[in-house]
Structure 1
């Protein structure tokens, strides 16, 4: 069968996510396996063209991974490209993506696609007008734990779903006595930081694809840690939210509650967990694992604060088997997007979907500022 090569401009790969998940674990991993397999048995390999602001950093990455092409000139890179990928900081994304769309390149981008819903919609409209394929990263849909959860939903395990409760987060060190695990711009509003803008687009596509349309949001954004220390050892004011507490009403009467925090210490099995309760059963899904309790095996606790609890409630849950080999979620979505570009395979995770995620973030911030529930209208 034939092997085809397409060129991919990768802008922002000197950052942690762009490098680790998109370059190493997706694009280079795809090439190591021989490319993306198409429906006719042919294969597509990817020629990465690294783009960024620091030529020295790009040269180091290129040498480390034997990549021939790198440049600080986006215009020159686009002239050689079939696809443009953007993993820059959110603030820089819109200008570069619009340039790629104008050049007629298919575009794949990290989320959020923009800082405002107006900009996100403009990207979706520009891509549609130009007739180019477009997609936004929605990696959590491809986590093993959520794939198992989707399998339970499709199999009717829950009966009527009543509620979803999500817990996400971990303690991000302030940067003084231990270095922070996240870059300092995440905590400055002027630089596009904030956990709502970062995480609500994630929660939107998880809720939308697994449970139903989001019809309203009530959120409280908080900056728990008011000062932090940046990469140069300088103390700065944290002006963006580092925690958010949200209630989302979904179609079908489902209520979702999701807490997101970079100021919480983990007392759960995984960094993110979703509990889904239904009339016929419940499940708790994390990054990799998923546990269930059916209606028939639900115990009958009795509230009695005068006696010590002897039951081990977690022992009453059962692990959902893998029943499949789960690949890296970022790599899986890259393969789907390549097939979308090359053979027009379905890809529902487009810029319009990304704009709906940005809209939820924008409404969440507005809800917090105004202290009220806000309906989510159609774009």
Structure 2
């Protein structure tokens, strides 16, 4: 008979958009409903979520709606519950470091959204605590599991690009101010004092994307802006937007082979979308180029590259988009958040480190800090190596 082990997961901040949609609804509940995951030795691991939040009515309703037996508003109590194996955090950034410290002090494995802390010093401290505690710590690196970026990474691994020259990224969309139409992001995202800001939010993503696709980030030159100075909160009250809502970054990278690569990524909550997906990355190399979004990836080989000629006196008659070939998945790719949860749970079961741990998250916090400093000082900054 196949042995089944149950991992109890305290899920904090589960009433938020990300915590609910991606982690509960599209990851943990599907893992539970499929009967858990099967390990390499044939045994199974089932998950038992415990919903944690400050709003008792919301938590109770979610538990009833999704047939989750256990829920609580007592975060400290559930952290210290000896039957809990993993503490997951998707709450506000300003509260995260304290929650993770408590969980690791209680001997819990942790899985967390990012940024893991508001400062680099605190993020490095978390990584050091995890190392000393001997627990399995995982940080959500969801974009590396997206079908589009999985295909892009495969092209890199297969040498499709030749020598990689550059990467360009475009991310963002128009977030309504909240006066005439409700904003589709929480108001705290636009208040610096509450841990908000595009740079703080997204540079930690761009760090692991650049690391995971191309190589080490060596320098940063950023310009951060607050394009929309006033917004309206969930109660319809006007507030001053004190955090940046756009960040324009240039990064110098180094591939494992030692080749330099220049990357530029624009991130904005004040841009209207004229592209196929909400985020797109283009890599150009000596032998080919590719453009990847959340799901789709198209490529163009050197031999198939056309030779446009600049002539502003004549209209363009060729369709440049039609000259690219779609890259097939060649496999069924599940939801990225769910895939990483399954990988993390296998690591917890095996008692090993997760490949995306708190040190990786610290490098993301470092890039965000240096990005803000670069913008303030109007200069390019080197990125020193972090050691524990």
Residues 74-153 of structure 1: pairs in structure 2 closer than 5 A: 74-78=75-79, 79=81, 80-153=83-156
Moved over 6 A (4+): none
Matched, 1:66 2:73: no
Give the conservation status (yes or no) of the 8 Å contact 1:173–1:180: yes
Q: Is 1:214 aligned with 2:221?
A: no
The residue number in structure 1 matching 2:36 is: 35
Instruction: Please say if 1:286 is aligned against 2:293.
Output: yes
CA RMSD of aligned residues (A): 0.8
Aligned equivalent of 1:225: 228
The answer to whether the 8 Å contact 1:35/1:44 transfers is yes
Secondary structure of 1:141's counterpart equals helix
Counterpart of 2:20 in structure 1 is 19
1:50 aligns with: 51
Residue by residue over 1:289-322, the C-alpha shift from the partner in whole angstroms, topping out at 9 and shown as x without a partner, is 0000000000000111111111111111001112
Q: Distance in 2 between matches of 1:344 and 1:210?
A: 27
Is the 2:188–2:196 contact (alpha carbons within 8 Å) kept by the matching residues of 1?
yes
Distance, in Å, in 2 between the alignment partners of 1:193 and 1:199 is: 11
Size of the aligned set, in residue pairs, is 379
Q: Work out whether 1:190 is the aligned partner of 2:193.
A: yes
8 Å CA contact 1:336, 1:345 repeated in 2: no
| CA deviation vs aligned residue, 1:69-124 (integer Å, no higher than 9, x gap) | 11111232121310110000101101111000000000110011111111100111
CA contact 2:136–2:354 (8 Å) conserved in 1? no
Tell me how far apart the structure 2 counterparts of residues 32 and 62 of structure 1 sit (CA, whole Å).
Answer: 15
Determine the C-alpha separation between the residues in 2 that align with 1:145 and 1:209: 13
Equivalent runs, 1:271-282 vs 2, <5 Å: 271-282=278-289
Mapped contact 1:216–1:375 kept (Cα < 8 A): yes
1:347 CA displacement = 2.4
> What is the CA–CA distance in structure 1 between the aligned matches of 2:332 and 2:305, rounded to whole Å?
30
Counterpart in 1 of 2:374? 367
Query: Is the contact made by 2:217 and 2:251 (CA closer than 8 Å) also made in structure 1?
Result: yes
* TM-score normalised by structure 2 residue count: 0.97
SS at match of 2:49: strand
Q: Is there any run of 5+ residues in structure 2 with no aligned partner, and where?
A: none
Residue equivalent to 2:244: 241
Report if aligned partners of 1:9, 1:83 keep a CA contact under 8 Å in 2: yes
Q: Distance in 1 between matches of 2:214 and 2:281?
A: 12
Could you tell me which residue of structure 2 aligns to residue 167 of structure 1?
Answer: 170
Which SS does the other structure have where 2:125 is aligned?
helix
TM-fit CA distance, 1:346: 5.8
Contact 2:231 2:240 in 1 (8 A): yes
> Structure 1, unaligned stretches of length 5 or more?
none
TM-score, normalization by structure 1 = 0.99
Report what 1:4 is aligned to. 5
